[in-house]
Amino acid sequence: MSYQAEISKLDNFALINLRGEEEAVTRFESALSLMFPRTAHTTAAKDNVAVLSLAPDHWWVRTSIQKERETFEALFQAGSTEHAAVTIVTDHFCGFSVNGPEALLVLRQGVSLDLRNLHTGQCTRGGFARCGATFQVVDYARHYDLFVESSYGDYVTDWLARARGPE
């Protein structure tokens, strides 16, 4: 059986890992001109920049690879006087997009979480196909982006192709 879902590898993304307390977050927000989500597992986005809230003091900033250095420099400067960490983690992760009317059915085969409880604009981490993944819900039940450690990239590529079914 083949599911109606398009699976593609994400090539044009950058991830910047942020850790910090409220004072640092205020400075990060100013640097990006974007209010950070204060609730875990939510996202905020503006002008091709998304901020994924992973924990009360932990965020990922997702942008294009072309804006990686510029965004990093702005965030690093903003957090330099605070107790904060700003780290480029792009190369540590491999990204995938699962998009289509049956995207949720493809992912549910290997996710340890009930993705039906996550809606557009949310994100989370969880077990996925015997590895870990971070999920961003781009469009509920239709479009999900997921990020796994780069060492699992080939494995997840094959796993997603098998889960989707023959073309």
Q: 18 and 86: one domain?
A: yes
Q: How far is C-alpha 61 from the geometric centre of its chain's CA atoms?
A: 8
Q: Which two tokens stand for residue 73?
A: 């420099």
Print the domain residue range for 25: 14-91
Beta-bridge mates of residue 85: 19
167 pLDDT band, cuts 50/70/90, is: confident
The per-residue pLDDT for 112 is 84
Over the stretch 53-62, which tens digit does the pLDDT of each residue have?
999 999 999 9
Q: 85 and 103: one domain?
A: no
Q: 148 and 118: one domain?
A: yes
Q: Is residue 81 part of a domain?
A: yes
The per-residue pLDDT for 147 is 98
pLDDT over 90 percentage in the chain? 94
Reference 18, options 77, 59, 68; nearest CA is 59
pLDDT over 70 percentage in the chain? 100
The per-residue pLDDT for 24 is 96
Q: 103 and 159: one domain?
A: yes
**CB-facing half-sphere around the CA of 141: CA atoms within 13 A:** 3
Q: Considering the entire predicted model, what is its pTM?
A: 0.94
Q: 84 and 31: one domain?
A: yes
d(CA 26, CA 148): 29
Reference 15, options 93, 131, 127; nearest CA is 93
Q: 132 and 68: one domain?
A: no
Arithmetic mean of pLDDT over the chain: 96
The per-residue pLDDT for 105 is 94
Q: What are the CA-CA distances from residue 107 to residues 47, 54, 114, 162 (Å)? A: 28, 20, 10, 11
Q: Please report where in the chains the tokens 């900033």 appear, as a residue.
A: 61
Residue 149 sits in a domain whose CATH number is 3.30.1360.120
Over the stretch 73-113, which tens digit does the pLDDT of each residue have?
999 999 999 999 999 999 999 999 999 999 999 999 999 89
Q: 81 and 108: one domain?
A: no
27 pLDDT band, cuts 50/70/90, is: very high
d(CA 155, CA 64): 24
pLDDT at 49 over 90: yes
Beta-bridge mates of residue 6: 99
Give the other-Cβ count within 10 Å of 130's Cβ: 10
